[in-house]
A = this chain, B = another copy of it.
Amino acid sequence: MSSTLSPQTREKLKGVSTATLASALFKKGLRNQMIQGSVPLSPPKGGSMVGVAYTLRYMPAREDLNPMTVFRNHSHPQRKAVEECPEGAVLVIDSRKDPRAASLGGILATRLMRRGCAGIVTDGGFRDVAEIGALDMPSYQARPSAPTNLTLHQAIDINVPIGCGDAPVFPGDVVVGDMDGVIIIPAEIADEIADEAVEMTAYEDFVIERVRNGEKTLGLYPPTDERNLELFAAWRKERGR
């Protein structure tokens, strides 16, 4: 597991949503950290997907360089990435937003899960989605895609900075995913953002409880009415948050 993500921060991030993180990043002037268009194959279990980004870059496939036999080469970047993506990391694939051929299939996804990876994300598509969606590891894609990646993609680089769904992803960044999709937290502010998101989440949980009870949002969200801050303080105390 990469040293940039402490167990504490990982745990905190499991309990917050990508929406809250997007707001925390927005306050820091970061507006494009959401991977646009990638959705989960199945609902993540046990909290949000959290892991350090391990990246794989695809370029358009040239036919003569991409016969089926390339996979016999043990250093083929796609196969190498699957065997080297660290435990607890998320494999993030730059498929140039092209889901017409697969980024990856069921066998490699199963291997990643077995190796203890935290998830897989592509801005293209997966093949064998029924199989991948049933794994005990979250995965995100634009839409299913059966053709082998060789049809349109050539894996060319491992662990370099990439774009994924129009978001910048640097190796070591922290990747968080939930039902809304996947967001990238720059490594250097991951702890700080996690802390802020935990605080924001506490207030949002307080708000949603009150809204469910019939409270109006004006004055409460955000807390322009001071009394709400007092009530929130009491609420936190009561719940030990």
* A interface residues, Cβ below 8 angstroms from B: 17-19, 21-23, 26-34, 36-37, 39, 43, 59-65, 68, 71-72, 74, 79, 82-83, 96, 98, 100, 102, 105-108, 110-111, 114, 127-131, 143-148, 150-151, 154, 156-157, 160-163, 166-168, 178-181, 183, 186, 204, 207-208, 211-212, 214, 216-219, 221-222, 224
Residues of B within 8 A of A17 (CB): 127-128, 146
Q: State whether B31 touches A147 (Cβ < 8 A).
A: yes
Residues of B within 8 A of A31 (CB): 63, 147, 151
Residues of B within 8 A of A160 (CB): 156-157
Q: State whether B218 touches A83 (Cβ < 8 A).
A: yes
Q: State whether A68 touches B114 (Cβ < 8 A).
A: no
Nearest first, the 5 closest Cβ-Cβ pairs linking A and B are A19-B127, A18-B146, A130-B179, A146-B180, A60-B168
Residues of B within 8 A of A21 (CB): 146
Q: State whether A107 touches B217 (Cβ < 8 A).
A: yes
Residues of B within 8 A of A183 (CB): 146
A231 nearest CB across to chain B (Å): 16
- A204 and chain B: residue at smallest CB distance: B107
Complex Cα–Cα for A161 and B166 (A): 19
Q: State whether A216 touches B111 (Cβ < 8 A).
A: yes
Complex Cα–Cα for A143 and B35 (A): 13
Complex Cα–Cα for A127 and B178 (A): 10
Residues of B within 8 A of A217 (CB): 79, 82-83, 107-108, 111
Q: State whether A161 touches B156 (Cβ < 8 A).
A: yes
Residues of B within 8 A of A128 (CB): 17, 19, 180
Residues of B within 8 A of A108 (CB): 217
Residues of B within 8 A of A157 (CB): 160
Q: State whether B180 touches A107 (Cβ < 8 A).
A: no
Q: Residue A62 contacts which of B32, B37, B64, B102 (CB distance < 8 angstroms)?
A: B32
